[in-house]
Homo-oligomer: A and B are copies of this chain.
Amino acid sequence: MNAPASEFELIDRHFRRAPRHADVRVGIGDDAAVIAPTPGMELAVSVDMLVEGRHFFAGTDAEALGHKTLAVNLSDLAAMGAAPRYALLAGALPDADEAWLARFMQGFRTLAERHDVELIGGDTTRGPRNLCVTVIGEVPPGAAITRAGAHPGDDVYVSGALGAAALAVRALGGDVRLAHDVLARVRERLERPEPRVALGLALRGVATAALDVSDGLVGDLGHILERSGCAAVVELARLPADPAVAERLHGADRDVALACLLAGGDDYELCFTAPRAARERIDVLARELAVPATLVGTLERGHGLTVLDEHGRPLAPLPASFDHFG
């Protein structure tokens, strides 16, 4: 057995690397990183904290967790239309398990490199497992896609498919039984979400509002409605449900399927709005990126979200979104 690694040995072995980009003037290993962002760009900055037992199960594969920890943050940048550039990683770990850390960083780095994100800083301490990532991205002045720019008459879109991650949580918790291969597939969606970075960039100048669906469509679309001062009517039949969720919409598990589809978090798809005139452009860009973008409803004057069921009747009550203090 080797002696337990010190905090600084851990940092040296697992976090510090020579800066890959010239704009990183000072990388990991000083009191702060120093960056020289692209002149004239605005910066989008976001932070997300993932707690063991809350955001991920104890025993989650470390490599998948490394991926997800960064993915949920890149998803926030994607929702702003920002190009990811830098990340900082702070982590509390119950022990100095280097094998775990190496696998975690492998997942983190593989995703980071795919999006050309440089890890510029961090902090490591002992404590109940908690991972906190800050990401910084760039966006041209005024081009960030906020939650506040939607207008009555705009279309509402959802990328990819919804509900798989929430279904996986229910299956892992024993509430739902899934075939082995189905569970493996939805669990992959839960544990290794793909941030919609390319779609977010393509939506600059097209989408009027956007966010990522992290807490469930009802609650998240609700944020756009509230911030933009609109109402929305969404059709259940149009929602891009994951196949395993879709097939449960018409049977004994309908309530579970509705909850996964409408209030299930963790899919990290984008929900966005755009004027009707942009329909063809959105179809083209979605096809070019090979990311489904499904038209699911429309914005109206007023406030609140109406989801129409298969018979055109409003679903009531709507399943509630995930609330960390609920």
Inter-chain contact A80/B31, CB cutoff 8 Å: yes
What is the oligomeric copy number? 2
Using an 8 Å CB-CB cutoff, how does the interface string of A31-52 with B read, 1 for contact, 0 for none?
Answer: 1111111011011111111011
Inter-chain contact A134/B134, CB cutoff 8 Å: yes
For A47, give its contact among B25, B88, B95, B146 (CB under 8 Å). B88
Residue of B nearest to A141 (CB): B36
A79 at the interface (CB under 8 A from B): yes
Given contacts A126-B54, A130-B127, A227-B29, A47 and B325 within 8 Å (CB-CB): no
Inter-chain contact B31/A126, CB cutoff 8 Å: no
A25 → chain B closest CB, angstroms? 6
Residues in chain B near residue A29, CB distance under 8 A: 147, 227
A12 → chain B closest CB, angstroms? 11
For A126, give its contact among B40, B51, B134 (CB under 8 Å). B51
A34 → chain B closest CB, angstroms? 5
User: Which of under 10, 10 to 19, 20 to 34, or 35 or more describes the interface residues of A?
Assistant: 35 or more
Residue of B nearest to A8 (CB): B323
Inter-chain contact A36/B32, CB cutoff 8 Å: no
Question: For the complex, what is the distance from the CA of A45 to the CA of B141, rounded to whole Å?
Answer: 21
A302 at the interface (CB under 8 A from B): no
Q: Name 13 interchain pairs, CB-CB below 8 A, sorted by A.
A: A7-B325, A31-B80, A31-B147, A32-B77, A32-B79, A34-B44, A34-B82, A36-B42, A45-B120, A49-B123, A54-B92, A55-B125, A125-B324
A202 at the interface (CB under 8 A from B): no
Given A49-B130, A124-B325, A132-B132, 6 more pairs with CB closer than 8 A: A26-B80, A26-B146, A30-B148, A32-B76, A34-B42, A123-B132
Question: For the complex, what is the distance from the CA of A82 to the CA of B26, rounded to whole Å?
Answer: 13
Q: Which of A5, A142, A326 has the most CB of B within 10 A?
A: A326
A residues near B (Cβ < 8 Å) are: 4-8, 10, 25-26, 29-37, 39-40, 42-49, 51-55, 75-77, 79-80, 82, 86, 88-92, 95-96, 120-128, 130, 132, 134-137, 139, 141-142, 144, 146-148, 210-212, 227, 323-326
For A49, give its contact among B6, B125, B212 (CB under 8 Å). B125
For A44, give its contact among B32, B43, B127 (CB under 8 Å). B32
A214 → chain B closest CB, angstroms? 9
Question: For the complex, what is the distance from the CA of A136 to the CA of B130, rounded to whole Å?
Answer: 22
A211 → chain B closest CB, angstroms? 5
A102 → chain B closest CB, angstroms? 15
